[in-house]
């Protein structure tokens, strides 16, 4: 049996990212509510406990707490942000509001004689995001880090194996955050690092079987990475019980519908394709608000499923390729809503299906790709460009028409082809048809056509991203081809905004 690290959730958006970093270090991670009892923790028998961040103040009236007995179990504990403050507060220290709040990259000084920071230089750049801070240590603790505006950035009680950090070691912005987590797991928890992605697949197959039993499952197969890997995992777990329905809503990329059908028609699953372009276009006619678009498409998506599922009689479970960044952006799991994903919050209460099967819900995109490769999916599917559920509907700004979607399909195909031809490294790249028209000139004639925006980012977790510095000669080639080959476009621009402040998609 694998060793386990328990991640206790206090409402922070990074809880699954923490769990993911632990898995990356080959240790099994389990997320549980922050209020779990010490007795339950004893039954789980973790080698370590991590307390997550959260939006509350520990001294607030409804602030979540943990069982104080956790700190007496002789199990190493690492508190992060709110978890750091909570540990301090519950053990008799003091927390108060900051005179100067710290957000973003902050330079801190860490004591590398502390096991948590062993092997690091004293000066580190970390991600901070807090309005409270530890101002007085609990008995038995010593300070192990500070910044200009935060006197206690880190603390430890090495005798009791209790550690706290005000910053977030789980995010990429904290340059050596993974090393800090590795120190906690290996040097403090003495992890054997006996966990692998194969173990994850085995566990998920077991969970799927326990949930599904003998029921038939309907999967919305978009042909994207997430739904394809979901299909492969389900077909392995419940062979003969999976029906894959591909709804071609008319918002697919160029030739994509036919490619998806070719890829899955010979698989050991029931594959059904529904051509519903006109139906979806009618539903979104005149709609310009992106959230409204997403919700209409999500609702219609489910309606199509219900109609088709009735043909299979006893199918009561709906499977979705939901992944964790979808959950975060949709405001699920106590986080703020950024944008709705049809596979997270758009399901009506009176839907035909009685339950959801979401085996990838705790994973990030690169983990999903690794699982797909292990399950034997072809490279062109595993490494396919990420594509949102509503497809080009959220890459075509403003009202949706077939004419605009066709313009976008052609422009996007050119951009992707040139990126691949010139081997430009990016994790996601696509074109956006803006709703902006501008004056242009074609030959001796004045034009007044659309502006296409190009987007390319590099990221590992899709929670944060940087724009790709595409060589100018590539951008020039793309611009020239789109302007000359795609009727209706007179201007091409390149989006150089990171995430945050922008999201990867435009809508």
What does DSSP assign to residue 165? E
What is the CB-side half-sphere exposure of residue 165 using CA atoms within 13 A? 25
Q: Is 190 a catalytic residue?
A: no
Task: Say how far residue 452 (Cα) sits from the centre of its chain.
Answer: 26
H helices of 79-134, where? Answer: 82-90
For the beta carbon of residue 241, count every other beta carbon within 10 angstroms. Answer: 20
Task: Say how far residue 379 (Cα) sits from the centre of its chain.
Answer: 21
CA–CA gap between residue 39 and residue 67 (Å, rounded): 9
CA–CA gap between residue 332 and residue 356 (Å, rounded): 15
Q: Is 135 a catalytic residue?
A: no
Nearest in space to 341 (alpha carbons), one of 301, 390, 384, 307: 390
Give yes or no for a contact between 261 and 374, defined as CB atoms under 8 angstroms apart: no
Give yes or no for a contact between 318 and 220, defined as CB atoms under 8 angstroms apart: yes
CA–CA gap between residue 449 and residue 483 (Å, rounded): 10
CA-to-CA dists, residue 235 to 21, 224, 238, 394, angstroms: 28, 16, 5, 30
CA–CA gap between residue 39 and residue 45 (Å, rounded): 10
Q: Which is catalytic among the residues 84, 168, 176, 342?
A: 168
Parallel, antiparallel or unpaired: strands 77-80 and 48-51? parallel
Q: Which is catalytic among the residues 81, 114, 150, 230?
A: 81
CA–CA gap between residue 176 and residue 126 (Å, rounded): 8
Q: Helix or strand or coil: residue 71?
A: helix
CA–CA gap between residue 222 and residue 297 (Å, rounded): 14
Q: Provide the β-strand partners of residue 273.
A: 246
For the beta carbon of residue 496, count every other beta carbon within 10 angstroms. Answer: 13
Q: Which is catalytic among the residues 16, 170, 367, 410?
A: 170
Parallel, antiparallel or unpaired: strands 445-458 and 466-467? antiparallel
Task: Say how far residue 72 (Cα) sits from the centre of its chain.
Answer: 34
Q: Helix or strand or coil: residue 444?
A: coil
Q: Is 341 a catalytic residue?
A: no
What does DSSP assign to residue 184? I
Query: What amino acid positions are annotated as catalytic residues?
Result: 81, 168, 170
């Amino acid at each position: 049996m694998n060793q386990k690290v328990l991640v206790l959730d206090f409402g922070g958006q990074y809880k699954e990212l923490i769990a993911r970093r632990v898995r990356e270090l080959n240790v099994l991670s389990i997320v549980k509510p922050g209020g779990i009892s010490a007795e339950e923790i004893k039954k789980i028998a973790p080698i370590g406990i991590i307390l997550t961040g959260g939006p509350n103040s520990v001294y607030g009236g409804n602030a979540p707490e943990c069982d104080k007995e956790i700190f007496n179990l002789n199990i190493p504990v690492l508190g992060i942000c709110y978890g750091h403050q909570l540990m301090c507060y519950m053990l008799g220290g003091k927390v108060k509001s900051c005179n100067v709040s710290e957000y973003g990259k902050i330079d801190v000084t860490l004591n590398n004689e502390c096991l948590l920071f062993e092997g690091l230089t004293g000066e580190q750049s970390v991600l901070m995001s807090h309005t409270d801070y530890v101002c007085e240590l609990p008995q038995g603790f010593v300070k192990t880090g500070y910044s200009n505006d935060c006197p206690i950035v880190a603390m430890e009680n090495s005798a009791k194996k209790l550690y706290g950090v005000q910053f977030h070691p789980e995010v990429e912005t904290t340059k050596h955050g993974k090393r800090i987590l590795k120190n906690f797991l290996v040097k403090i928890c003495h992890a054997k690092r006996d966990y692998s992605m194969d173990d994850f697949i085995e566990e998920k197959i077991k969970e799927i079987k326990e949930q599904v039993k003998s029921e038939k499952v309907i999967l919305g197969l978009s042909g994207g990475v997430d739904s394809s890997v979901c299909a492969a995992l389900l077909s392995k777990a419940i062979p003969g019980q999976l029906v894959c329905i591909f709804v071609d809503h008319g918002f697919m990329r160029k030739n994509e519908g036919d490619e998806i059908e070719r890829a899955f028609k010979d698989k050991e699953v029931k594959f059904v394709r529904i051509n519903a372009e006109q139906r979806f276009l009618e539903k979104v006619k005149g709609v310009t608000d992106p959230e409204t678009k997403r919700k209409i498409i999500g609702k219609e998506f489910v309606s199509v499923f219900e109609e088709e599922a009735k043909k299979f009689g006893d199918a009561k479970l709906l499977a979705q390729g939901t992944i964790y960044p979808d959950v975060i952006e949709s405001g699920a799991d106590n986080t703020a809503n950024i944008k709705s994903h049809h596979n997270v919050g758009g399901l009506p209460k009176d839907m035909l299906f009685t339950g959801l099967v979401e085996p990838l819900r705790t994973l990030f995109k690169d983990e999903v790709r690794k699982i797909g490769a292990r399950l034997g999916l072809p490279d062109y599917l595993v490494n396919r460009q990420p594509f949102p559920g509503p497809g080009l509907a959220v890459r075509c700004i403003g009202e949706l028409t077939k004419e605009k979607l066709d313009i976008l399909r052609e422009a996007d195909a050119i951009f992707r082809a040139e990126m691949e031809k010139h081997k430009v490294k990016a994790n996601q790249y696509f074109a956006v048809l803006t709703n902006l028209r501008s004056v242009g000139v074609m030959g001796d004639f004045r034009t007044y056509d659309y502006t296409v925006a190009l987007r390319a980012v590099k990221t590992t977790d899709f929670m944060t991203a940087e724009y790709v510095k595409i060589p100018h000669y590539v951008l020039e080639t793309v611009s020239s081809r789109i302007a000359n080959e795609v009727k209706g476009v007179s201007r091409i621009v390149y989006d150089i905004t990171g995430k945050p402040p922008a999201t990867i998609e435009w809508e």
